[in-house]
Amino acid sequence: MSFFYPNPREKLTTARIMQLNVINTTASARQAQDPNCRPKINESDDRFPARPKVHDLMGFLLDYAKTITDQANNMKIIGKLIKQDLFYEDSEEKKMQKHIIQNMFDGMRYSAPLLKNLTAIKMHDVDSNAILF
């Protein structure tokens, strides 16, 4: 396998790392945490087999669906905040609003490489034991 074409295991692992960062940004936005203090994840907590199969991808996608739902729910709340177009004179409220929005933008930035890795995975068959390539 070429250096420029990661194998399915590397793609799933990278996607998982990005997903964990999306989860962190979503949680940080809910708490209005300073994005500079948010932990950045560089290692996957999931160990995919050397030759992942369709069921490994399906398991990841089911988990990722929950992540997207959580992120979407946050975006609805943030959308309402932005529509209100409130200008806070109080520096603490202004700072919280900035943290919420910055965390969600960061989450969207992590979503791009996550989806790029997922869409680069190929399969010959939808059989759950089929090998990914």
CA angle 58, 61, 34 (to 5 degrees): 155
The answer to whether the CB of 102 falls within 8 A of the CB of 31 is: no
45 inside domain? no
> What is the structure's pLDDT at 2?
47
Contact 123, 14 (CB under 8 A): no
pLDDT (0 to 100) of residue 3: 56
The domain of 81 spans 9-32+50-119
Measured distance CA(110)–CA(25) in Å, rounded: 9
How many domains in the chain?
1
**Mean pLDDT split into 10-residue runs, the chain, 133 residues:** 73 95 96 95 90 92 96 88 74 85 94 92 78 81
Q: What is the DSSP string of 46-101?
A: ----SS-BHHHHHHHHHHHHHHHHHHHHHHHHHHHHHHHT----SHHHHHHHHHHH
1 lies in some domain: no
Here the tokens at position 83 are: 């529509």
pLDDT of residue 64: 96
Calculated CA dihedral for residues 115, 116, 117, 123, nearest 10 degrees: 90
How far is 17 from 26, CA to CA, in rounded Å?
Answer: 14
Report pLDDT for 78.
Answer: 82
* Residue 83 is assigned to a structural domain of this protein: yes
Asked if the structure places residue 68 within a domain, the reply is: yes
- Residue 131 falls inside a structural domain: no
> How far is 37 from 52, CA to CA, in rounded Å?
34
Residue 111 CA from chain centroid, whole number:
5
Q: Which two tokens stand for residue 118?
A: 């997922």
